[in-house]
Chains A and B, each alone.
Chain A
Amino acid sequence: MSAAQLELLLRLGDNALVLAQRLSEWCGKGPVLEEDLATTNTALDLIGQARLWFGYAGELEGKGRDEDALAYRRDAHQFRNVLLVEQPNGHYGDTIARQFYFDAFHLPLLRALSASSNARIAEIAAKSAKEAAYHLERSTDWVIRLGDGTEESHRRMQQSVDDLWMYTGEFFDADAVDREMTAAGIAPDPAALREPWLAMVRKVFAEATLAVPGEAWMQRGGKQGVHTEQLGFLLAEMQYLQRAYPDAKW
C-alpha cells in the first residue's frame, strides 16, 4: 500500500465526514421542516460514504485503526478535507452555496473514480455517485430559487457565492499525492475536473441570475492538513465524547 493511496482515501473520507458534521448542525433548526429533513438526509449519505472510505483506509493501513479511530482520534492537522467543507453554516444561503460548490465537484470526481484501477475505490465511488447526483440536484435547485428569488434572497445568495469562492481553488490543485494516484490510474487528475466544474457553475449561476466571481486569490492547504481555524471547533464538538471517554460504546 502506498502512503499516497492512504492520503487519497483520507481526503475522500474527510470531505464527506466534515461536511456531514456541518450539515448535521442544522438538525432541528432548518428554515423549514422539509429542508431540515433534506439537509440531515444529505448528511446521512455523506456519513455513510465516509464510513466506506475510512473502513478501507484502516484496512489498507493495517495498524488496527477502524472507521471510528480515524474519525474521532485524529486532530485537525491530520484531517485532509478541502477547506470549503469546514466553513461554518452561516445563513441558509451560505450553506447552499457551500453545498453547490462541493456537489458540483464531488459528483464528477466520484464518477471519474468509478473507473479507478483500484476495484474497491471504484465500487465505493460508483455507489456514492448515485447519492451525490441527488445532492447536486437539490443544491442546484436552491441556488436557482434563492438567486432568482426576491431582491433580498438574490443579494444574499450573491454574497454567499462570492464569500466562498476562494475555497474552491484547491479542488483542482494537484500535489505529489494526486500525481502519484493519477499516474497509477487510481484517481483522475484534479486539474481535469476544473473546466466541467466551471461550466456547471456558469450554467447554474446564469439561470440563478448570479454573477460568477472573477479571478481571486485562492486559499489552499486543506488537502495537506493546513486548515482554517474553523475545523478545530468542529472537531472539538464532534470528537468530544471519544476524547472525554475513550472507547465508550453506544
Chain B
Amino acid sequence: MVTIARAEAAEVWRWLEEVPDPEIPVISVVDLGIVRDVHWAGDDLVVTITPTYSGCPATEVIAQDIRAALAARGLERVRLETKLSPAWTTDWLSDAGRAKLSGYGIAPPAHKVVDASRIMKPAIACPRCGSARTAKLAGFGSTPCKALYRCDECREPFDYFKPH
C-alpha cells in the first residue's frame, strides 16, 4: 500500500487558476466557470468541467491543458468528467475574470442572464475609453462567445463577451 500525499482540493483549485483559457489567455479556466468541481475518489482526482458553447473548439484543448497542469504537479491519476447541466453561463464568470477581460480589451457581459430575449439590448461600454456610444457590428466575433462592436467615441473596434 503506497501512501500518496494527496493535495487538498483547495490547493488543486489554486493550480487550476493558473490554467489559461486557450482562446482568451488572460483569464483562467476557473475564472470562466468551466471547472465545476474537484474531489478525490479513492486515489483518483476527479475534475468536473462543463463546456462553454457546444461547438467551442477550445473545450478539448482545455481538457488537455488541465491534465498537463496537474501532471506537472505530480498528479497522474486524474479523471475528467464532463457535466452539461446546469448549462454553462457567463453568470459564473468571477469578478476577477471580468476585470481581466476588461483590461484585455474585451467588454465583459453587461448583465446577468435573467431574460434571454433581451440579451443584446443594453449599451455596452467601450473597454478602452469607457464611452457608452458604441454599436454592434456583428453578433459573433472571433469566437461564438463574443460579438463584435465599435466605439463611436474612440473609433476602436472591440470584442464583447456576450451574456450566455
Residues of A near any B CB (own CB < 8 A)? 34-35, 37-38, 41-49, 51-52, 119, 122-124, 126-128, 130-131, 133-134, 137-138, 141
By secondary structure, the A interface counts as helix
- Our pick among A34, A43, A47 for the contact of B148 (Cβ within 8 Å) is A34
Q: Are A127 and B87 in contact (CB under 8 A)?
A: yes
User: Which single residue of chain B is at the shortest CB-CB distance from A51?
Assistant: B54
- Between A and B, 21 residue pairs with Cβ closer than 8 Å are A34-B137, A37-B138, A37-B148, A38-B138, A43-B55, A45-B53, A45-B55, A47-B54, A48-B54, A48-B55, A48-B56, A49-B55, A122-B85, A130-B89, A130-B116, A131-B53, A131-B54, A131-B144, A133-B116, A133-B117, A137-B119
* Contacting residue for A37 out of B51, B89, B142, CB 8 A: B142
Smallest CB separation, B120 vs chain A (Å): 6
**B148 neighbours in A (Cβ, 8 Å):** 34, 37
Contact B84–A124 (Cβ < 8 Å)? yes
Chain A minimum-CB-distance residue to B84 = A123
- Nearest residue (CB) in B for A111 is B116
- B104 CB–A CB distance under 8 Å: no
Q: Do A44 and B144 touch (CB < 8 A)?
A: yes
Query: B164 on the interface (CB 8 Å rule)?
Result: yes
Which of A47, A126, A130, A141 makes the CB contact (< 8 A) with B85?
A126
- Which residues 34-83 of B have a CB within 8 angstroms of A? 51, 53-57
Whether B53 and A48, one on each chain, are in contact in the complex, defined by CB atoms closer than 8 angstroms, is: yes
- Decide yes or no whether B92 CB sits under 8 A from chain A: no
A46 to B137, CA, bound (A): 22
Residues of B within 8 A of A126 (CB): 85-87
Report B-chain residues with C-beta under 8 Å of the C-beta of A35. Answer: 138
The smallest C-beta distance from B142 to any residue of chain A, in angstroms, reads: 7
Q: Which residues of B contact A48 (CB under 8 A)?
A: 51, 53-56
Q: Is the contact region of chain B dominated by helix, strand, or loop, or is it mixed?
A: loop
List residues of chain A with CB within 8 A of the CB of B87. 123, 126-127, 130
| B139 contacts across to A, CB distance below 8 A | 38, 134, 137-138, 141
Q: Write the B123-149 contact mask toward A (1 if CB under 8 angstroms, else 0).
A: 000000000000001111111100010
Task: Tell me the smallest distance from the CB of B6 to a CB of chain A, in Å.
Answer: 31
Please give, as numbers and ranges, the residues of chain A lying within 8 Å of B143 by CB-CB distance.
41
B106 smallest CB distance to A (angstroms)? 15
Min CB distance A199 to B, Å, is: 14
Report A110 CB to chain B, min CB distance, Å. 11
* Complex Cα spacing A35 to B57, Å: 19
Closest residue to A135 on the B side, CB-wise?
A: B139
User: A122-B85, A123-B84 provided; 15 other pairs, C-beta below 8 A?
Assistant: A34-B137, A37-B142, A41-B143, A42-B144, A44-B57, A45-B54, A48-B54, A51-B55, A126-B85, A126-B86, A127-B51, A127-B85, A130-B89, A131-B53, A133-B117
Q: Which of B56, B87, B117 has the most CB of A within 10 A?
A: B87
A134 CB contacts on chain B under 8 angstroms: 119, 139-140, 144, 162, 164
B86 CB contacts on chain A under 8 angstroms: 126
Docked pose: A43 CA to B140 CA in angstroms: 11
**Bound-complex Cα distance A123 to B83 (A):** 9
Smallest Cβ distance from B90 to chain A, in angstroms?
A: 10
B48 to A: closest C-beta gap in Å: 14
- Chain A residues lying within 8 Å of B117, measured Cβ to Cβ, are 133
Q: Which of A37, A45, A46 gathers most chain B CB within 10 Å? A: A37
Closest residue of A by beta carbon distance from B157? A34
User: B12 CB to closest chain A CB, in angstroms?
Assistant: 26
A134 to B120, CA, bound (A): 9
Which 4 pairs show the lowest CB-CB distances between chains A and B?
Answer: A48-B54, A48-B55, A34-B138, A123-B85
